[in-house]
Amino acid sequence: MKWQKITVSTTHEFEELVSSCMLDFGSEGVSVTDYAEFRDAVKNRIWDYIDEKLLEKDDGTVLVSGYFPLDFDKTTLESELAEIKERSPFCTGSLETQAETVDSATWENVWKDYYKPIKSGKLTIVPKWLENPNPDTVPVYINPGMAFGTGSHETTGMCVELMQLADIKGKTVADVGCGSGILGICALTLGAESCTFVDNDENAVAATKENCGYNKVGDRAEIVLGSLLDGESTEFDVVLANLTVDLLLMLKNGINTNLKKGGKAVFSGIINGRESEIAQAFGKEYRLIKAEKRGEWHAMLFEKL
């Protein structure tokens, strides 16, 4: 199905108003490109995955895009935006519009081109719409949607490899910040007795349930919506956490509480230059078994003393 994509140039302060205006005029959805969010994330160090080169493109303009039927008359939207600009005592940006025709099949599925099967030891992580190209491995099928990974990112790949060194068969596992559920599902596929998946995002919980179903491991999975094991008194044999450094540090006490003595912890998502913070934070109560580095990322396998 084809749509008319209309993009409005505005400011950070007015992006919500422009988005609301588009929805009022019948847009099927709204997407926003706002570099101010990147600036805040870099400044406050709340997200290690930021590519700071993106800031080179920042001229203060925010782009708000809506999706309308092909016969939609954009002059009606432009008239409303002109009134907003005339009435507002604040800077709204140019509120100029650009229109283009897009195919929903293209923009709904183009993200699939970025996902390929990834071999990791005994496993191959396979996007669910593809076949396993490595018959000598066990496939783990994942539908990442447009929000979660399938294992192609270095951090996930290192996690999957390190967990295979943790003697995971028959063990109880926690996948903290589970996202698509990929780490816990890999653990269950490798023979873990059970896995508790934890995430504070409803979309992550839904994705994990779906992906557990693809791999027929739902009977050994407990999926929790919340922060780190809220209300849990269970002690696990293995904790898996592919998060940012700041989140790993924030969750340190929760990890300690819920990991057995002698248990293993696999941490990833550690950006280059901050690996010493994790080593120092966990060094007194844990023994570092193995550390990996790929590109700008680090992963570590610890044993609790």
Q: Are residues 168 and 255 in the same domain?
A: yes
46-79: b (≥16 Cβ within 10 Å) or e: eebebeeeeeeeeeebbbbbbbbeeebebeebee
On whether the CB atoms of residues 182 and 199 are closer than 8 A, the answer is no
| pTM over the 0.75 mark | no
Q: What is the CATH number of the domain that holds 68?
A: 3.30.70.120
Query: Which residue, of 109, 128, 150, is where some domain finishes?
Result: 109
How far apart are alpha carbons 40 and 31 in whole angstroms? 19
Q: Are residues 33 and 162 in the same domain?
A: no
Query: Residue 221, exposed/middle/buried by CB under 10 A (0-12, 13-18, 19+)?
Result: buried
Q: From first to last of the 305 residues of the chain, give the pLDDT tens digit.
A: 889 999 999 988 888 889 989 999 999 888 887 766 555 544 444 444 444 555 555 567 888 999 999 999 999 999 999 998 888 888 889 999 999 998 877 666 666 766 788 888 899 999 898 899 999 999 999 987 645 655 657 888 899 999 999 989 999 999 999 988 999 999 999 999 999 999 988 888 999 999 999 999 999 999 999 876 555 567 899 999 998 898 899 999 889 989 999 999 999 989 888 999 999 999 889 999 999 998 888 999 999 99
The number of distinct structural domains making up the chain is: 2
Q: Identify the domain containing residue 292 by its residue range.
A: 115-304
